[in-house]
Amino acid sequence: MRLIIVLLIVFFGRLTSFSQSTLTADTIEISLDNAEDLFLKNNYSLLAQRYNVDASKALIRQAGLLNNPNLYYENNVYNRYSKKYFPTSLGVPGDASTQGEYVIQYNWLFSIAGKRNKSVKVAKIQADIAQYQFDDLIRTLLLALRSDFYQINYELKSLRLFNEEIKTLSVIVENFETQYQKGNISLRDITRTRALLFSLQNDRLSLANNLIQLQNEFSVLLNNSKSAWYKPFINETEITNKYPLSKIVLSDLISQALASRPDLKAAQAQVTAAEATVNLQKAIGVPDITIQGVADRNGSYIPNYNGLAVSLPIAVFNRNQGNIQSAKSLTEAAKQLLEQKQVSVQNDVFASYQKILETEKLNASLSQNFSSDFNALLLGAQTNFEKKNLSLLEFIDLFESYKQSMIQLNTIKNQRYNAFEELKFNVGKDVFKQ
Protein backbone atom coordinates (compact mmCIF):
# COMPACT_ATOMS: atom_id res chain seq x y z
CA MET A 1 0.00 0.00 0.00
CA ARG A 2 2.89 2.35 0.77
CA LEU A 3 4.18 1.84 -2.78
CA ILE A 4 0.78 2.79 -4.19
CA ILE A 5 0.71 5.98 -2.11
CA VAL A 6 4.20 6.97 -3.33
CA LEU A 7 3.23 6.37 -6.95
CA LEU A 8 0.05 8.42 -6.60
CA ILE A 9 1.95 11.29 -4.99
CA VAL A 10 4.29 11.29 -8.00
CA PHE A 11 1.23 11.09 -10.23
CA PHE A 12 -0.41 14.09 -8.57
CA GLY A 13 2.82 16.12 -8.51
CA ARG A 14 3.26 15.77 -12.24
CA LEU A 15 -0.38 16.62 -12.83
CA THR A 16 -0.25 19.97 -11.08
CA SER A 17 2.63 21.28 -13.22
CA PHE A 18 1.76 20.89 -16.90
CA SER A 19 4.88 20.67 -18.99
CA GLN A 20 5.47 22.50 -22.23
CA SER A 21 7.42 19.56 -23.62
CA THR A 22 4.52 18.57 -25.88
CA LEU A 23 5.29 21.55 -28.10
CA THR A 24 7.66 20.82 -30.94
CA ALA A 25 10.74 22.73 -32.01
CA ASP A 26 8.73 24.19 -34.92
CA THR A 27 6.17 25.77 -32.62
CA ILE A 28 5.14 29.31 -33.58
CA GLU A 29 3.63 31.44 -30.85
CA ILE A 30 1.13 33.82 -32.41
CA SER A 31 -1.41 36.37 -31.22
CA LEU A 32 -4.80 36.86 -32.81
CA ASP A 33 -3.82 40.29 -34.15
CA ASN A 34 -0.69 38.86 -35.80
CA ALA A 35 -2.70 35.99 -37.26
CA GLU A 36 -5.22 38.40 -38.78
CA ASP A 37 -2.45 40.56 -40.26
CA LEU A 38 -0.84 37.53 -41.91
CA PHE A 39 -4.22 36.34 -43.13
CA LEU A 40 -5.13 39.65 -44.77
CA LYS A 41 -1.69 39.87 -46.36
CA ASN A 42 -1.20 36.33 -47.64
CA ASN A 43 -4.51 34.49 -48.08
CA TYR A 44 -4.92 33.33 -51.70
CA SER A 45 -8.72 33.48 -51.63
CA LEU A 46 -8.62 37.14 -50.68
CA LEU A 47 -6.00 37.94 -53.30
CA ALA A 48 -8.06 36.22 -56.00
CA GLN A 49 -11.26 38.00 -54.96
CA ARG A 50 -9.41 41.34 -54.91
CA TYR A 51 -8.58 40.84 -58.59
CA ASN A 52 -12.27 40.21 -59.24
CA VAL A 53 -13.07 43.57 -57.64
CA ASP A 54 -10.44 45.30 -59.77
CA ALA A 55 -11.81 43.59 -62.88
CA SER A 56 -15.33 44.81 -62.08
CA LYS A 57 -14.07 48.38 -61.62
CA ALA A 58 -12.31 48.23 -64.98
CA LEU A 59 -15.66 47.46 -66.63
CA ILE A 60 -16.95 50.85 -65.44
CA ARG A 61 -14.43 52.56 -67.68
CA GLN A 62 -15.25 50.22 -70.55
CA ALA A 63 -18.96 50.96 -70.27
CA GLY A 64 -18.31 54.71 -70.58
CA LEU A 65 -16.25 54.55 -73.77
CA LEU A 66 -17.67 55.94 -77.02
CA ASN A 67 -18.29 53.70 -80.03
CA ASN A 68 -15.39 53.55 -82.46
CA PRO A 69 -15.85 55.16 -85.90
CA ASN A 70 -15.51 52.92 -88.98
CA LEU A 71 -13.46 53.81 -92.04
CA TYR A 72 -14.15 52.08 -95.35
CA TYR A 73 -11.96 52.39 -98.49
CA GLU A 74 -12.61 50.83 -101.90
CA ASN A 75 -10.44 51.02 -105.09
CA ASN A 76 -10.75 49.27 -108.43
CA VAL A 77 -7.90 46.80 -108.72
CA TYR A 78 -7.09 46.99 -112.44
CA ASN A 79 -8.10 49.22 -115.39
CA ARG A 80 -7.90 47.05 -118.48
CA TYR A 81 -8.07 50.09 -120.76
CA SER A 82 -5.08 51.83 -119.24
CA LYS A 83 -3.55 48.58 -118.01
CA LYS A 84 -2.90 50.18 -114.62
CA TYR A 85 -3.31 48.66 -111.16
CA PHE A 86 -5.23 50.59 -108.54
CA PRO A 87 -5.78 53.70 -110.65
CA THR A 88 -7.10 56.77 -108.85
CA SER A 89 -6.70 59.51 -111.48
CA LEU A 90 -9.65 61.80 -112.21
CA GLY A 91 -8.67 61.55 -115.93
CA VAL A 92 -10.61 62.86 -118.88
CA PRO A 93 -14.38 62.56 -118.55
CA GLY A 94 -15.64 59.83 -120.84
CA ASP A 95 -12.20 58.37 -121.44
CA ALA A 96 -12.01 55.20 -119.34
CA SER A 97 -8.37 54.62 -120.17
CA THR A 98 -7.39 57.72 -118.18
CA GLN A 99 -9.62 57.26 -115.15
CA GLY A 100 -9.60 55.41 -111.81
CA GLU A 101 -12.20 55.01 -109.08
CA TYR A 102 -12.11 54.94 -105.28
CA VAL A 103 -14.75 55.16 -102.57
CA ILE A 104 -14.16 56.33 -99.00
CA GLN A 105 -16.85 55.91 -96.37
CA TYR A 106 -16.85 57.08 -92.78
CA ASN A 107 -19.39 55.58 -90.33
CA TRP A 108 -20.00 56.46 -86.70
CA LEU A 109 -22.70 54.95 -84.52
CA PHE A 110 -24.12 57.31 -81.89
CA SER A 111 -25.97 55.74 -78.97
CA ILE A 112 -28.96 57.75 -77.85
CA ALA A 113 -31.50 57.53 -74.99
CA GLY A 114 -28.66 57.61 -72.44
CA LYS A 115 -27.44 54.09 -73.21
CA ARG A 116 -23.85 54.88 -72.30
CA ASN A 117 -24.68 56.53 -68.96
CA LYS A 118 -27.08 53.72 -68.07
CA SER A 119 -24.41 51.14 -68.92
CA VAL A 120 -21.94 52.97 -66.69
CA LYS A 121 -24.47 52.95 -63.84
CA VAL A 122 -25.01 49.19 -64.15
CA ALA A 123 -21.24 48.62 -64.25
CA LYS A 124 -20.74 50.74 -61.12
CA ILE A 125 -23.38 48.79 -59.22
CA GLN A 126 -21.83 45.49 -60.33
CA ALA A 127 -18.46 46.76 -59.04
CA ASP A 128 -20.12 47.60 -55.72
CA ILE A 129 -21.54 44.07 -55.57
CA ALA A 130 -18.06 42.63 -56.19
CA GLN A 131 -16.71 44.79 -53.35
CA TYR A 132 -19.47 43.65 -50.98
CA GLN A 133 -18.76 40.04 -51.90
CA PHE A 134 -15.08 40.65 -51.16
CA ASP A 135 -15.97 42.15 -47.77
CA ASP A 136 -18.25 39.19 -47.06
CA LEU A 137 -15.44 36.78 -47.93
CA ILE A 138 -13.14 38.54 -45.47
CA ARG A 139 -15.87 38.38 -42.82
CA THR A 140 -16.42 34.66 -43.37
CA LEU A 141 -12.75 33.69 -43.43
CA LEU A 142 -11.96 35.84 -40.39
CA LEU A 143 -14.63 33.99 -38.44
CA ALA A 144 -13.01 30.68 -39.44
CA LEU A 145 -9.57 32.03 -38.49
CA ARG A 146 -10.71 33.28 -35.08
CA SER A 147 -12.68 30.11 -34.33
CA ASP A 148 -9.68 27.95 -35.19
CA PHE A 149 -7.42 30.22 -33.12
CA TYR A 150 -9.47 29.84 -29.94
CA GLN A 151 -10.16 26.15 -30.47
CA ILE A 152 -6.48 25.40 -31.04
CA ASN A 153 -5.62 27.26 -27.84
CA TYR A 154 -7.98 25.29 -25.64
CA GLU A 155 -7.40 21.95 -27.32
CA LEU A 156 -3.67 22.42 -26.78
CA LYS A 157 -4.39 22.88 -23.09
CA SER A 158 -6.49 19.72 -23.07
CA LEU A 159 -3.78 17.88 -25.00
CA ARG A 160 -1.16 18.84 -22.41
CA LEU A 161 -3.52 17.57 -19.73
CA PHE A 162 -3.82 14.21 -21.51
CA ASN A 163 -0.06 14.00 -22.08
CA GLU A 164 0.69 14.49 -18.40
CA GLU A 165 -2.01 12.04 -17.34
CA ILE A 166 -0.83 9.36 -19.75
CA LYS A 167 2.83 9.87 -18.87
CA THR A 168 2.20 9.55 -15.17
CA LEU A 169 -0.38 6.78 -15.41
CA SER A 170 1.97 4.79 -17.63
CA VAL A 171 4.53 4.81 -14.83
CA ILE A 172 1.88 3.65 -12.37
CA VAL A 173 0.71 0.85 -14.67
CA GLU A 174 4.30 -0.26 -15.25
CA ASN A 175 4.97 -0.44 -11.52
CA PHE A 176 1.61 -2.06 -10.87
CA GLU A 177 2.52 -4.72 -13.45
CA THR A 178 5.66 -5.48 -11.47
CA GLN A 179 3.78 -5.59 -8.17
CA TYR A 180 1.05 -7.71 -9.71
CA GLN A 181 3.62 -10.29 -10.79
CA LYS A 182 4.80 -10.37 -7.18
CA GLY A 183 1.25 -10.78 -5.91
CA ASN A 184 1.16 -7.40 -4.13
CA ILE A 185 -1.58 -5.87 -6.36
CA SER A 186 -5.00 -7.36 -7.02
CA LEU A 187 -6.21 -8.16 -10.54
CA ARG A 188 -9.05 -5.67 -10.05
CA ASP A 189 -6.64 -2.78 -9.37
CA ILE A 190 -4.31 -3.55 -12.28
CA THR A 191 -7.25 -4.03 -14.67
CA ARG A 192 -8.79 -0.75 -13.56
CA THR A 193 -5.58 1.21 -14.14
CA ARG A 194 -5.02 -0.48 -17.52
CA ALA A 195 -8.55 0.44 -18.62
CA LEU A 196 -8.07 4.03 -17.49
CA LEU A 197 -4.80 4.30 -19.39
CA PHE A 198 -6.37 2.88 -22.54
CA SER A 199 -9.29 5.29 -22.23
CA LEU A 200 -6.92 8.23 -21.85
CA GLN A 201 -4.85 7.17 -24.85
CA ASN A 202 -7.95 6.77 -27.00
CA ASP A 203 -9.32 10.17 -25.97
CA ARG A 204 -5.95 11.77 -26.60
CA LEU A 205 -5.79 10.24 -30.08
CA SER A 206 -9.17 11.73 -31.02
CA LEU A 207 -8.15 15.10 -29.64
CA ALA A 208 -4.75 15.02 -31.39
CA ASN A 209 -6.30 14.14 -34.76
CA ASN A 210 -8.77 16.98 -34.44
CA LEU A 211 -6.00 19.35 -33.42
CA ILE A 212 -3.88 18.33 -36.42
CA GLN A 213 -6.82 19.14 -38.70
CA LEU A 214 -7.29 22.51 -37.01
CA GLN A 215 -3.59 23.31 -37.34
CA ASN A 216 -3.79 22.44 -41.03
CA GLU A 217 -6.81 24.70 -41.58
CA PHE A 218 -5.10 27.50 -39.68
CA SER A 219 -1.94 27.16 -41.78
CA VAL A 220 -3.99 27.27 -44.99
CA LEU A 221 -5.75 30.44 -43.87
CA LEU A 222 -2.36 32.02 -43.16
CA ASN A 223 -0.98 30.63 -46.45
CA ASN A 224 1.91 28.95 -44.66
CA SER A 225 3.21 26.02 -46.71
CA LYS A 226 5.86 25.08 -44.13
CA SER A 227 5.20 22.58 -41.38
CA ALA A 228 4.37 24.49 -38.22
CA TRP A 229 2.68 23.94 -34.88
CA TYR A 230 0.91 27.12 -33.85
CA LYS A 231 0.57 28.03 -30.19
CA PRO A 232 -1.97 30.86 -29.75
CA PHE A 233 -1.00 33.59 -27.33
CA ILE A 234 -4.05 34.77 -25.37
CA ASN A 235 -4.41 37.23 -22.53
CA GLU A 236 -7.61 35.79 -21.09
CA THR A 237 -8.19 38.66 -18.67
CA GLU A 238 -7.92 41.19 -21.49
CA ILE A 239 -10.22 39.21 -23.77
CA THR A 240 -12.76 38.62 -21.00
CA ASN A 241 -12.98 42.36 -20.35
CA LYS A 242 -13.22 43.00 -24.08
CA TYR A 243 -16.78 41.68 -24.27
CA PRO A 244 -18.99 43.62 -21.83
CA LEU A 245 -22.49 42.24 -22.29
CA SER A 246 -24.00 45.39 -20.77
CA LYS A 247 -22.95 47.44 -23.81
CA ILE A 248 -25.02 45.54 -26.34
CA VAL A 249 -28.77 45.78 -26.91
CA LEU A 250 -30.61 43.39 -29.22
CA SER A 251 -32.55 46.11 -31.08
CA ASP A 252 -29.33 48.05 -31.70
CA LEU A 253 -27.57 44.91 -32.89
CA ILE A 254 -30.31 44.21 -35.43
CA SER A 255 -30.21 47.82 -36.68
CA GLN A 256 -26.44 47.68 -37.06
CA ALA A 257 -26.65 44.35 -38.88
CA LEU A 258 -29.21 45.71 -41.36
CA ALA A 259 -26.86 48.62 -42.02
CA SER A 260 -23.52 46.79 -41.94
CA ARG A 261 -23.79 43.24 -43.27
CA PRO A 262 -21.92 43.09 -46.60
CA ASP A 263 -24.02 40.16 -47.87
CA LEU A 264 -27.16 42.22 -47.20
CA LYS A 265 -25.60 45.20 -48.96
CA ALA A 266 -24.86 42.93 -51.90
CA ALA A 267 -28.51 41.81 -51.99
CA GLN A 268 -29.65 45.44 -51.89
CA ALA A 269 -27.24 46.29 -54.68
CA GLN A 270 -28.61 43.37 -56.71
CA VAL A 271 -32.04 45.02 -56.60
CA THR A 272 -30.55 48.36 -57.64
CA ALA A 273 -28.60 46.68 -60.43
CA ALA A 274 -31.73 44.89 -61.66
CA GLU A 275 -33.69 48.16 -61.71
CA ALA A 276 -30.86 49.88 -63.56
CA THR A 277 -30.79 46.99 -66.04
CA VAL A 278 -34.51 47.52 -66.76
CA ASN A 279 -33.78 51.14 -67.64
CA LEU A 280 -30.83 50.09 -69.79
CA GLN A 281 -32.90 47.52 -71.67
CA LYS A 282 -35.57 50.14 -72.34
CA ALA A 283 -32.88 52.46 -73.70
CA ILE A 284 -31.50 49.66 -75.87
CA GLY A 285 -34.98 49.37 -77.42
CA VAL A 286 -34.56 52.91 -78.79
CA PRO A 287 -32.76 52.78 -82.19
CA ASP A 288 -29.31 54.31 -82.46
CA ILE A 289 -28.25 56.77 -85.16
CA THR A 290 -25.46 56.11 -87.62
CA ILE A 291 -23.87 59.08 -89.42
CA GLN A 292 -22.01 58.32 -92.64
CA GLY A 293 -19.75 60.40 -94.85
CA VAL A 294 -18.94 59.34 -98.46
CA ALA A 295 -16.23 60.46 -100.90
CA ASP A 296 -16.52 58.84 -104.37
CA ARG A 297 -14.33 59.52 -107.44
CA ASN A 298 -15.71 58.66 -110.87
CA GLY A 299 -18.53 56.59 -109.42
CA SER A 300 -21.41 59.03 -109.45
CA TYR A 301 -23.14 61.59 -111.60
CA ILE A 302 -20.22 63.96 -110.96
CA PRO A 303 -16.51 63.01 -110.99
CA ASN A 304 -15.92 63.84 -107.33
CA TYR A 305 -18.94 63.01 -105.20
CA ASN A 306 -19.10 63.93 -101.48
CA GLY A 307 -22.17 62.91 -99.53
CA LEU A 308 -23.58 62.73 -96.02
CA ALA A 309 -26.02 60.02 -94.83
CA VAL A 310 -27.97 59.34 -91.66
CA SER A 311 -29.16 55.81 -90.80
CA LEU A 312 -31.90 55.11 -88.25
CA PRO A 313 -33.50 51.66 -87.80
CA ILE A 314 -37.29 51.67 -87.63
CA ALA A 315 -38.39 49.94 -84.41
CA VAL A 316 -41.50 48.22 -85.69
CA PHE A 317 -41.06 44.58 -84.69
CA ASN A 318 -38.05 44.43 -82.34
CA ARG A 319 -38.21 46.98 -79.55
CA ASN A 320 -36.25 44.79 -77.13
CA GLN A 321 -39.51 43.71 -75.47
CA GLY A 322 -38.23 40.29 -74.33
CA ASN A 323 -35.10 41.64 -72.61
CA ILE A 324 -37.13 44.36 -70.92
CA GLN A 325 -39.62 41.84 -69.53
CA SER A 326 -36.79 39.53 -68.45
CA ALA A 327 -35.09 42.40 -66.60
CA LYS A 328 -38.35 43.27 -64.84
CA SER A 329 -38.81 39.66 -63.72
CA LEU A 330 -35.25 39.51 -62.42
CA THR A 331 -35.89 42.72 -60.50
CA GLU A 332 -38.88 41.17 -58.73
CA ALA A 333 -36.82 38.07 -57.95
CA ALA A 334 -34.03 40.23 -56.51
CA LYS A 335 -36.54 42.05 -54.29
CA GLN A 336 -37.85 38.75 -52.94
CA LEU A 337 -34.32 37.56 -52.19
CA LEU A 338 -33.59 40.87 -50.45
CA GLU A 339 -36.61 40.46 -48.18
CA GLN A 340 -35.54 36.90 -47.38
CA LYS A 341 -32.01 38.06 -46.62
CA GLN A 342 -33.31 40.78 -44.27
CA VAL A 343 -35.32 38.21 -42.32
CA SER A 344 -32.32 35.89 -42.23
CA VAL A 345 -30.04 38.65 -40.91
CA GLN A 346 -32.44 39.52 -38.09
CA ASN A 347 -32.81 35.87 -37.11
CA ASP A 348 -29.04 35.35 -37.21
CA VAL A 349 -28.47 38.25 -34.81
CA PHE A 350 -31.27 37.13 -32.50
CA ALA A 351 -29.92 33.56 -32.35
CA SER A 352 -26.37 34.78 -31.66
CA TYR A 353 -27.60 37.11 -28.94
CA GLN A 354 -29.54 34.32 -27.23
CA LYS A 355 -26.52 32.04 -27.48
CA ILE A 356 -24.38 34.66 -25.74
CA LEU A 357 -26.94 35.04 -22.94
CA GLU A 358 -26.93 31.29 -22.31
CA THR A 359 -23.14 31.09 -22.52
CA GLU A 360 -22.69 34.00 -20.13
CA LYS A 361 -25.21 32.48 -17.73
CA LEU A 362 -23.19 29.27 -17.59
CA ASN A 363 -19.90 31.16 -17.36
CA ALA A 364 -21.20 33.30 -14.49
CA SER A 365 -22.28 30.18 -12.59
CA LEU A 366 -18.70 28.92 -12.53
CA SER A 367 -16.55 29.87 -9.61
CA GLN A 368 -13.56 32.05 -10.43
CA ASN A 369 -11.49 29.56 -8.44
CA PHE A 370 -12.87 26.58 -10.33
CA SER A 371 -9.45 25.12 -11.18
CA SER A 372 -7.88 25.81 -7.80
CA ASP A 373 -10.92 24.33 -6.04
CA PHE A 374 -10.46 21.07 -7.94
CA ASN A 375 -6.78 21.07 -7.09
CA ALA A 376 -7.68 21.49 -3.44
CA LEU A 377 -10.16 18.64 -3.79
CA LEU A 378 -7.45 16.35 -5.11
CA LEU A 379 -5.12 17.37 -2.31
CA GLY A 380 -7.85 16.47 0.16
CA ALA A 381 -8.39 13.19 -1.66
CA GLN A 382 -4.69 12.45 -1.38
CA THR A 383 -4.74 13.10 2.36
CA ASN A 384 -7.76 10.87 2.83
CA PHE A 385 -6.18 8.17 0.71
CA GLU A 386 -3.06 8.24 2.85
CA LYS A 387 -5.33 7.85 5.86
CA LYS A 388 -6.99 4.89 4.11
CA ASN A 389 -10.32 6.71 4.00
CA LEU A 390 -10.37 6.34 0.17
CA SER A 391 -9.68 3.30 -1.94
CA LEU A 392 -7.47 3.36 -5.02
CA LEU A 393 -10.47 3.27 -7.34
CA GLU A 394 -12.16 6.12 -5.49
CA PHE A 395 -9.03 8.23 -5.81
CA ILE A 396 -8.73 7.48 -9.52
CA ASP A 397 -12.41 8.33 -10.01
CA LEU A 398 -11.82 11.69 -8.39
CA PHE A 399 -8.92 12.30 -10.72
CA GLU A 400 -11.07 11.28 -13.70
CA SER A 401 -13.64 13.85 -12.56
CA TYR A 402 -10.88 16.44 -12.44
CA LYS A 403 -9.85 15.64 -16.01
CA GLN A 404 -13.38 15.82 -17.32
CA SER A 405 -14.05 19.09 -15.50
CA MET A 406 -10.89 20.74 -16.85
CA ILE A 407 -11.71 19.68 -20.40
CA GLN A 408 -15.26 20.95 -20.01
CA LEU A 409 -13.94 24.22 -18.62
CA ASN A 410 -11.76 24.64 -21.72
CA THR A 411 -14.76 23.85 -23.90
CA ILE A 412 -16.91 26.43 -22.11
CA LYS A 413 -14.26 29.13 -22.52
CA ASN A 414 -13.88 28.28 -26.20
CA GLN A 415 -17.65 28.36 -26.72
CA ARG A 416 -17.87 31.72 -24.99
CA TYR A 417 -15.32 33.40 -27.24
CA ASN A 418 -16.81 31.76 -30.32
CA ALA A 419 -20.26 33.02 -29.33
CA PHE A 420 -19.00 36.61 -29.30
CA GLU A 421 -17.14 36.11 -32.58
CA GLU A 422 -20.31 34.69 -34.12
CA LEU A 423 -22.27 37.73 -32.94
CA LYS A 424 -19.73 40.08 -34.55
CA PHE A 425 -19.95 37.98 -37.71
CA ASN A 426 -23.75 38.13 -37.84
CA VAL A 427 -23.85 41.86 -37.13
CA GLY A 428 -21.16 42.50 -39.73
CA LYS A 429 -18.96 44.64 -37.49
CA ASP A 430 -17.12 44.56 -34.16
CA VAL A 431 -19.84 45.84 -31.83
CA PHE A 432 -17.43 45.76 -28.87
CA LYS A 433 -14.76 47.92 -30.46
CA GLN A 434 -14.14 51.11 -28.53
**pLDDT (tens digit per residue) in 298-348:** 988 889 999 999 999 998 899 999 999 999 999 999 999 999 999 999 999
- The whole-number pLDDT of residue 50 equals 86
Of 4 and 158, more confident = 158
- Tell me the average pLDDT of the chain: 85
Quick check: 415 pLDDT over 70?
yes
pLDDT in tens, 264-290: 999 999 999 999 999 999 999 999 999
Contact between 46 and 141 under an 8 Å Cβ cutoff? The reply is: yes
Contact between 219 and 230 under an 8 Å Cβ cutoff? The reply is: yes
Q: How far is CA 393 from CA 33, 92, 203, 385, 388, in A?
A: 46, 126, 20, 10, 12
Could you tell me what percent of the chain has a pLDDT over 90?
A: 54
- The whole-number pLDDT of residue 374 equals 64
User: Rounded CA gap, 221 and 232, in Å?
Assistant: 15
Name, in order, each residue with C-beta under 8 angstroms of 371's C-beta and a sequence gap of 6 or more.
Answer: 406, 409
- The whole-number pLDDT of residue 388 equals 63
Quick check: 146 pLDDT over 70?
yes
- Which residues, in sequence order, are bridge partners of residue 84? 79
pLDDT in tens, 172-187: 788 778 878 888 778 8
- The whole-number pLDDT of residue 8 equals 40
- Which residues, in sequence order, are bridge partners of residue 72? 105
Tell me how many degrees the CA angle 49-258-34 measures, rounded to the nearest 5: 45
- The whole-number pLDDT of residue 12 equals 41
Could you tell me what percent of the chain has a pLDDT over 70?
A: 88
Residue among 268, 247, 235 nearest 430 (CA): 247
Q: How far is CA 234 from CA 239, 391, 417, in A?
A: 8, 40, 12
Contact between 126 and 52 under an 8 Å Cβ cutoff? The reply is: no
User: Rounded CA gap, 187 and 192, in Å?
Assistant: 8
Name, in order, each residue with C-beta under 8 angstroms of 321's C-beta and a sequence gap of 6 or more.
Answer: 285
Quick check: 386 pLDDT over 80?
no
Greatest C-alpha distance within the chain: 137
- The whole-number pLDDT of residue 389 equals 73
- The whole-number pLDDT of residue 11 equals 41
pTM metric for this prediction: 0.82
User: Rounded CA gap, 122 and 273, in Å?
Assistant: 6
- The whole-number pLDDT of residue 421 equals 92
Quick check: 385 pLDDT over 80?
no
Contact between 200 and 158 under an 8 Å Cβ cutoff? The reply is: no
- The whole-number pLDDT of residue 379 equals 65
